[in-house]
Chain A
Amino acid sequence: EAGVTQFPSHSVIEKGQTVTLRCDPISGHDNLYWYRRVMGKEIKFLLHFVKESKQDESGMPNNRFLAERTGGTYSTLKVQPAELEDSGVYFCASSRGIKSTDTQYFGPGTRLTVL
């Protein structure tokens, strides 16, 4: 079974530009999550999809961030326009269910650097 994949692995952009991150969850996992780890800080929840619906987007920092999951398969996270403080590692995770017992499997992350 293939794991969670993310693309790109690294992205370096200038302030004001747009970047789109992609996440492909494990096949059959309805639940998809985005997290972010800013340098030196803790991993923070951004949002959660159940299939194509946003279940919780309370962690999204501001309206420059837009996440989509069309068709309930892969998801994209767009940052527009990017700011310096957006730099960090963006992780995607997926799980089959949403019980506290359900393991979230993480992708390798996308390291975003905004110059």
Chain B
Amino acid sequence: AQKITQTQPGMFVQEKEAVTLDCTYDTSDQSYGLFWYKQPSSGEMIFLIYQGSYDEQNATEGRYSLNFQKARKSANLVISASQLGDSAMYFCALRWGGFKTIFGAGTRLFVKA
């Protein structure tokens, strides 16, 4: 069965520093996608970054990068140069079999000034 795990309930980071949010997954499917979403206090879910199982390069989107280690089944999100506006809940998601998606429990990130 598919599984996705975020082991860090909460993280603190100093403004302008980089932070890594952990995500591990398990699936027997060869084709799958890994997504990260940000949920600020306003509640909406904002898509950040995507990594496909066959992608050889790690995905990057501005200050966000995904450290994809397929053999370890990890897809950690790296936020460089943290900003106060990055304080939010972050969810890792695994998508397989077309539309099936499961989410991790989330990591709450606090950025300190």
Contacts and interface: CB of A to CB of B under 8 A. Distances in A.
Contacts of A74: none
Nearest to B94: A100
Nearest to A58: B100
Contacts of A104: 35, 47, 95, 101
Interface string B22-65: 00000001011101010000111111001011000000000000
B105 interface: yes
Contacts, number: 64
Nearest to B54: A101
A101 B91 CA distance: 17
B45 A109 contact: yes
Contact of A98 (B32, B44, B91, B98): B98
Contacts of A100: 29, 31-33, 52-53, 95-98
A42 B52 contact: no
Contact of A33 (B91, B99, B104, B106): B99
Interface in B55-99: 91, 95-99
A45 B101 contact: yes
Interface of A is mostly: strand
Contacts of A109: 43-45
A114 to B, nearest CB: 18
Interface range, A side:
20 to 34
17 contacts: A33-B99, A43-B103, A44-B103, A45-B101, A45-B102, A55-B99, A56-B100, A91-B45, A93-B45, A98-B99, A101-B52, A104-B95, A106-B37, A106-B45, A106-B47, A108-B42, A108-B44
Interface of A: 9, 31, 33, 35, 42-45, 48, 55-56, 89, 91, 93, 95, 98-109, 111
